[in-house]
Amino acid sequence: MFSGLTRQRVFRHRGTMMKQPAVLDTRHEFETPEGVNLEMLLAGPLVRAAAWGIDLLLRSGGYLAVAWVTADMGEIGAGLWYLLVFVVEWLYPVFFEVYREGRTPGKQWLGIKVIHDNGTPVGWSSSLVRNILRVVDFLPTLFGAAVVTMVVDQRFRRIGDIAAGTLVVYQPGDRPVRDIGQAVALAPPPGLLPAEQQAIVEFAERAPELSEQRRVELAEILAPLTGSDGQSAWVTLQGYAAWLKGH
């Protein structure tokens, strides 16, 4: 309950360690260059296939429109059409991934995007690699290799993603600002990791959704950290959260 994070949570206080078992889900956590822990929800094969289908429909519509315009131009028109198809098929995803924050129109419609596996925005080289290797992912037919790889890989990466060091994730929504109630700010013990601080704040923000008995029960898990039990444990954690939020 203390975390929306997926990795094993470890709280340290005066040599005491309390662990919560990791939860198997589709979340991926990484640390930014600024030392901030971020968590992203990985996009699975179905939503990625749907995004690809939307992009295919958009491209196909463009191809049909150009074919209609160049129908009376003979071989020159046919040559221009084939050139357009070649350029768009290879550069369409790269252009949008680099200049539209990892989102082709199909990905944007379904709320997913491409990022580096360290959480940074995808660049030219990575986007080119992952899209050039679509040829391999397509084998033996209809992206069979890509489907098998994504099902086997814990982060739903196709061959192109593995080679380019990229992931496809859901776009994070705007996190609503939650009130933690009236609390006297208390400075928490030194040495708390950023993820542990975040867990305390999240608990205090979600506490109004819990019964008083459940709040106390969860707060008592961190008795070695707060040095108290019962209602006092919850009040102390609430004070830590208020301090961490700058109240």
Percentage of the residues of the chain whose pLDDT score is greater than 90: 37
Q: Which residues does 102 contact at the CB level (< 8 Å), separation at least 6?
A: 113, 114, 115, 121, 122
HSE (CB half, 13 Å, CA atoms) of 122?
31
Output the six-digit token pair for 192.
């708390």
Name the least confident of 21-30, 46-55, 139-148, 190-199: 21-30
More confident residue, 38 or 149: 149
Give the closest residue to 13 by CA, choosing from 240, 224, 237.
224
pLDDT of 5 higher than 60: no
* Mean of per-residue pLDDT scores for the chain: 81
Residue 243 has what pLDDT?
85
The Cα–Cα gap between 108 and 89 comes to 18
Q: Which residues does 173 contact at the CB level (< 8 Å), separation at least 6?
A: none
pLDDT, tens digit, for every residue of 120-133?
A: 899 999 999 999 99
pLDDT of 18 higher than 50: no
pLDDT, tens digit, for every residue of 81-98?
A: 999 999 999 999 999 999
pLDDT of 239 higher than 80: yes
Q: Which residue has the tokens 């961490």?
A: 244
- Tell me how far CA of residue 222 lies from CA of 71, 74, 211, 217, 225, in angstroms: 73, 77, 18, 10, 5
Q: Which residues does 115 contact at the CB level (< 8 Å), separation at least 6?
A: 40, 102, 121, 122, 166, 167, 169
pTM: 0.60
Alpha-helical regions (H) of the chain: 45-69, 74-99, 105-110, 124-132, 134-138, 144-152, 159-164, 194-206, 212-219, 223-226, 230-244
More confident residue, 198 or 162: 162
Residue 127 has what pLDDT?
95
